[in-house]
């Protein structure tokens, strides 16, 4: 059984848990474009150093080497496409789902990045499978990048917004703790 980061908090992580009051057309356009952008296997393998450095770290959460490589390549590609740090995305996934691509929260959030189903409806893609790891990463990275832009680069506020806990810091603190303990490196990889 995998060991997961234990952070004492009585409030569970629930990514993007609240429907925004009004979805701005720019977010709908971004999500629509991102979910129709073709997956490119060549693009996924461009950062070999990053993949190699994270492969062993992910072993505690995903024991199968092939699954680790696919997950890391997907995270690297989707985070880069969205303009995010892949390491922050790894920390979000660790906190949200413990790297379980089939995770479903009590609130109904699904997959690696715990995407709420209302996002599918919001962009007119009701048939999307949020348990598909690649698609889930595409949604999650795009939503987080949107919130980061909305919050003028303030990662703490963007993470809280992603979780539906804007105004509170417990969730961003959990993500940052996971990032520092497992995914951050001092080298420029």
SS3 state at 46: coil
Catalytic member of 66, 96, 121, 181: 96
Distance CA 145, CA 151 (A): 10
- Whether residue 96 lies in the annotated active site: yes
DSSP 183: I
Nearest to 99 by CA among 125, 64, 123, 129: 64
Structure tokens at 24: 């701005």
Structure tokens at 177: 């703790």
Structure tokens at 154: 């303030």
> CB count, 10 Å around CB of 110?
24
Structure tokens at 118: 């209302």
SS3 state at 21: coil
Compute the half-sphere exposure of residue 17: CA atoms within 13 Å on the CB side of its CA.
17
137 to each of 3, 21, 34, 74, how far by Cα in Å?
A: 22, 24, 11, 7
State the catalytic residues.
96
């Amino acid at each position: 059984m995998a060991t997961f980061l234990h952070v004492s908090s009585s409030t569970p992580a629930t990514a993007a848990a609240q429907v925004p009051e009004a979805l701005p057309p720019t977010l709908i356009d971004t999500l629509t474009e991102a979910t129709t952008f073709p997956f490119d296997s060549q693009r996924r393998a461009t950062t070999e150093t990053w993949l190699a450095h994270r492969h062993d770290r992910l072993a505690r959460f995903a024991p199968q080497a092939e699954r680790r490589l696919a997950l890391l390549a997907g995270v690297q590609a989707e985070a880069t496409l969205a303009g995010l740090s892949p390491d922050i995305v790894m920390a979000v996934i660790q906190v949200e789902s413990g790297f379980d691509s089939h995770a479903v929260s009590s609130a109904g959030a699904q997959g690696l990045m715990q995407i709420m189903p209302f996002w599918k409806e919001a962009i007119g893609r009701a048939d999307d499978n949020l348990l598909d790891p690649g698609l889930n990463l595409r949604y999650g990275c795009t939503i987080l990048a949107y919130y980061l832009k909305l919050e003028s680069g303030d990662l703490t506020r963007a993470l809280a917004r992603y979780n539906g806990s804007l105004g509170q810091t417990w969730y961003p603190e959990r993500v940052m703790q996971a990032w520092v303990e497992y995914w951050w490196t001092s080298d420029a990889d």
